[in-house]
Amino acid sequence: MSQMPRLSACPSCEEPLESGDRFCGACGYDLSAVPARPEDNPTIALNGSVPAQGAPAAAYPEPPATPPAGAGAGTPPPGASPSPEAGVRFDRPPQPEGYAPEIYRTQPDEYPLQAPDPRVSAEPAAPAAGTGGKVCVACRAGRVDDDGYCENCGHAQPRERDHMEQESGPVAAVSDRGLRHHRNEDAFALGTTTLPDGSPACVAIVCDGVSSATRPDDASAAASKAASETLLAALPRGTHPQQAMHEAIVAASHAVNSLAEEPATAREHAPHQNAPACTIVGAVVTSGLLIVGWVGDSRAYWVPVDRGAPPARLTEDDSWAAQMVAAGLMNEAEAYADERAHAITGWLGADAYELEPHTAAFKPDRPGVVIVCTDGLWNYAEGAEEMARIVPLDAAGQPLHSARVLVGHALDGGGHDNVTVALVPFPAVPQGAGSA
């Protein structure tokens, strides 16, 4: 795996660094936590040797070195910044002049707060006088009309997707609208299945709708559903998990593309709006392999049960900043300080510049948990060490509780975006174990 360029400034506090520094002298940030980018189609041992437990490395034939048709590669020409025509897309509406990424931690997002903090459980509201319908969660007196708004104070009411939780065997996920967005544009899908040898496999898919596109919530829902169904159908047939992940991302892409082909009457906005789009990240865990796949800037992290072992970030963003660093045009500190840093260069959608599914295979040598999440979480815990610090110590045994804790961390940090996180224990444990 190629290494990231040497840092000239701390990625946490942005103070200058001396050559050879192991920790930031200003804030103590562990500089070794900056992850290396995994290549597509590798098999990598985490923390050392191939594990003794579980399926041996030869249980699956290695996938072909050349990705199947449909995968591409796009790198910006040296000296040139990607433009919208070159496949760069902003995941949020344009920001005002002088905008900087740090604003997310100190300023409200583009949407006003539409509903109470979803973590606060209010006392049961008294029924509205003379009505038998729903009562507003804000003023606790007005009746809620058919459009989901209070007739008394006009407050928008929580929708089904505002907060979702699910367990599937040992896998769990939580998704929340957050405290600034008017709807939840994230989606997830979980599942468990059995491989031909009888061993279990767990699947988690997380998608983040691109807010600047039309119907981003529909895009994320369609992609997560298509990807999980493809994986859960392919794995029992004996398809190598890494190949199955590639096929799942392609299937998700087709599902999102089909949304753009629907008649204009089925769209929220005029036909000239951007095609529906989303990012995707997924994980497949078997008794001997950990597979991740992604397109966009949603991420996967590895956190070992033994916190004395190093955690790792398993994905590399498809973003403007990542491309600038990879091309050697900027160092990491410069790239992520730029207002274009979070412009994504890869997504699923009919107007995507090029579909480039990334997949990687790992063979951890110890138990741990895989964190699969959208940027609504990792914006508040970007580095692998930061993520490991907020993951509960019993996450592998209590995945649903731990997912709630991680979502709560993002909400406590400001909840500027939708936040979705799935937790997958490794090695896969029997279905039904580890439920919260």
Q: What is the mean pLDDT of the chain?
A: 77
The answer on pLDDT for 386 being more than 90 is: yes
pLDDT at 147: 72
The answer on pLDDT for 358 being more than 60 is: yes
Per residue in 198-225, pLDDT (tens digit) is: 999 999 999 999 998 999 999 999 999 9
pLDDT band at 84 (very low <50, low <70, confident <90, very high): very low
Per cent of the chain over pLDDT 90 is 49
Instruction: Indicate yes or no: pTM above 0.95.
Output: no
pLDDT at 243: 97
pLDDT at 335: 84
pLDDT at 60: 61
- For 431, the token pair is 């279905």
pLDDT at 122: 41
Give the residue from 366, 362, 359 showing the smallest Cα distance to 426: 366
- For 392, the token pair is 């509960």
Q: Which residues have C-beta within 8 Å of that of residue 418, sequence separation ≥ 6?
A: 175, 176, 177, 178, 181, 184, 185, 186, 208, 374, 376
Per residue in 292-348, pLDDT (tens digit) is: 999 999 999 999 999 999 999 999 999 998 889 889 999 877 887 788 888 899 999
pLDDT at 187: 98
Per residue in 155-172, pLDDT (tens digit) is: 777 678 999 999 999 999
pLDDT at 331: 86
pLDDT at 100: 43
pLDDT at 189: 98
pLDDT at 4: 31
pLDDT band at 275 (very low <50, low <70, confident <90, very high): very high
The answer on pLDDT for 95 being more than 80 is: no
Determine the distance from the C-alpha atom of residue 97 to the mean position of all C-alpha atoms in its chain, rounded to a whole number: 28
Per residue in 25-51, pLDDT (tens digit) is: 777 666 554 444 444 555 555 654 443
pLDDT at 90: 62
Per cent of the chain over pLDDT 70 is 65
pLDDT at 289: 95
Query: Rounded CA gap, 328 and 288, in Å?
Result: 36
C-beta of residue 267 within 8 angstroms of C-beta of residue 221: no
Q: Which residues have C-beta within 8 Å of that of residue 331, sequence separation ≥ 6?
A: 5, 6, 7, 8, 9, 325
Per residue in 223-273, pLDDT (tens digit) is: 999 999 999 999 999 999 999 999 999 999 999 999 998 655 454 545 456
Give the residue from 103, 130, 112 showing the smallest Cα distance to 342: 103
pLDDT at 210: 94
What is the rounded end-to-end Cα distance, in angstroms, of the chain? Answer: 36
The answer on pLDDT for 377 being more than 70 is: yes
Residues constituting the chain: 436
121/406: higher pLDDT: 406
Q: Strands of 197-247 (E only): list them.
A: 200-209
Count of C-beta atoms within a 10 Å radius of residue 394: 14
pLDDT at 32: 53
C-beta of residue 306 within 8 angstroms of C-beta of residue 323: no
Distances (CA, A) of 174 to 225, 284, 372, 388, 403: 16, 18, 11, 18, 6
Mean pLDDT of 83-87: 47
56/333: higher pLDDT: 333
Mean pLDDT of 393-413: 96
